[in-house]
Amino acid sequence: MGRPNQDSLHIQQLKHNPRMTALSRRQLFGLVVLTLMWGLNWPMMKLSLREMSPLHFRSLTMALGALGLWLVFRAQGLRMVPKGRREWRDVVVLGLPNVLGWHGLSIVALTQLPAGRAAILGFTMPVWTVLIAVLFYREPLTRRLIIAVAAVLTGIALLLGDELVQLGGSPTGILWMQGAAFCWALGTIWMQRAKLTLPAEALVVWMMVLSSAVLAAMAWALEPAQQWHFSAPMWISLVWAVAINYGASQVVWFRLARSLPPSTSAMSLMATPLIGILSAPLILGEWPRWQDLAAVVCVLVAISAVLLKRSAKPGADSSLR
């Protein structure tokens, strides 16, 4: 999904506000709109890649999105400039996996995979988050985690097998997408353990700024010169990427993040790849295969296993552990 790691920031915020209120109608409406924006973003990104190279697309839209967010958050009176070496270190260290790794690898993967399939693979992130915590941070290995890992591996195997048997299939795209999901998962762990003093909004903006600069340099070095004569659908997709993906969805998320119940956040996470699959035929003409539908069921089972029961208990720690 093409967004900074708001879920990591949500985890950090939940640690300071463990008691969440029930959803109001306004919150429910905002969550539905937000989930639609996140899900539709996958086929919209794929549409952009028909006329624009991936790193040029990502660096341009991320930079413009960061500028827009800076103006919005600054107008709200937030402190937007990091102070001291520690806050700048947080921007760089947390930005490497959360923004540069996730956004860079996922956009490359999207050039090789159908949009819905890429969304499914990207949202295996919660399972890898828990698995990393078990392997490297001494979290307990539970039966629910074993079930989740088995479900995710089954889904990946279905998609990998289909890519291998298709003429012109791209199994390497699956590897790129899992690399992106791993970066997102690692970034979530680091964000959870970080003692942040910089406002989350400012952190996101600066991670985007630095990552877009790195991606722009990589685009200049690795991709052919970009032509800037686009069709009308391409301009629409570019406006979507800047105004919706890196703009409106970020603002809506930050308004919701401090009050969303953890289980509701998890359900939103689960719905995003499903929306990506269902909208891809309308936007791109990419129809899902039975392997995609089976894989999304596997991923939903996995996310449910690692998130929903843990966050259902009042006052429970809702971090992705």
DSSP-assigned states of every residue in 281-305:
HHHT--PPPHHHHHHHHHHHHHHII
pLDDT of residue 44: 96
123 versus 213: the higher-pLDDT residue is 213
pLDDT of residue 307: 73
- 212 is a domain residue: yes
- 257 is a domain residue: yes
Task: Return the minimum-mean-pLDDT range out of 34-43, 65-74, 91-100, 160-169.
Answer: 160-169
- 166 is a domain residue: yes
- 294 is a domain residue: yes
- 318 is a domain residue: no
pLDDT > 60? residue 9? no
Looking at the chain, the whole-number percentage of residues with pLDDT higher than 90 is 56
> Which residue intervals of the chain are DSSP H helices?
6-16, 25-48, 54-75, 84-95, 102-110, 115-122, 125-136, 143-165, 171-193, 200-222, 232-239, 249-257, 262-283, 290-303, 309-312
User: Can you spell out the DSSP letters for 234-271?
Assistant: HHHHHHIIIIIIIIIHHHHHHHHHTTS-HHHHHHHHHH
130 versus 242: the higher-pLDDT residue is 242
pLDDT > 90? residue 171? no
pLDDT of residue 165: 78
pLDDT of residue 318: 34
pLDDT band at residue 210, thresholds of 50, 70 and 90? very high
Provide the 3-class DSSP secondary structure of residue 111.
Answer: coil
pLDDT of residue 262: 58
257 versus 122: the higher-pLDDT residue is 122
pLDDT > 90? residue 309? no
Q: Report the pLDDT averaged over residues 97-102.
A: 96
CA 218 to chain centre: 21
pLDDT > 50? residue 158? yes
Summary mean pLDDT of the chain? 85
- 321 is a domain residue: no
- 319 is a domain residue: no
Q: Report how many domains make up the chain.
A: 1
pLDDT of residue 224: 93
pLDDT > 80? residue 261? no
- 317 is a domain residue: no
Q: Provide the domain limits for residue 115.
A: 6-312
Task: Return the minimum-mean-pLDDT range out of 126-130, 154-158, 279-283, 316-320.
Answer: 316-320
Handedness of CA 191, 195, 201, 60 (dihedral sign): negative
Could you read off the pLDDT of 48-59 as tens digits, one per residue?
Answer: 999 999 999 999
